[in-house]
Amino acid sequence: MAKYAWYTRASDTIHRLTVLGLVGGSVYMVGGLGYTMYINGKNYEKQVTATKLDQNEARELEGSVTSAE
């Protein structure tokens, strides 16, 4: 195997580090985005469920007040 010139090895190393940095950063960002979307979805679902329960309780209270009169 032929020995490459120092500048060829240096540019190859820089290229590999650049590609690894871009791919690694992309994977990191996509993972963070996915995690954030998952957590926000769970929080939204809790909020919607709590709102529906509050509305149902308010309706039940209105019904009991109306029937008591």
Per residue in 15-56, pLDDT (tens digit) is: 999 999 999 999 999 999 999 999 999 999 999 998 888 888
pTM for this model (two decimals) = 0.63
So what's the pLDDT on residue 1? 52
Q: Indicate the domain borders of the chain.
A: 26-69
So what's the pLDDT on residue 59? 79
So what's the pLDDT on residue 67? 55
* Ramachandran angles phi, psi of 48, nearest 5°: -65, -45
- Using CA of residue 41, residue 43, residue 46, residue 50, what is the dihedral sign? negative
Measuring CA to CA, how many Å separate 3 from each of 7, 8, 12, 27? 12, 10, 13, 34
What is the band of 10 on the pLDDT scale with cuts at 50, 70, 90?
very high
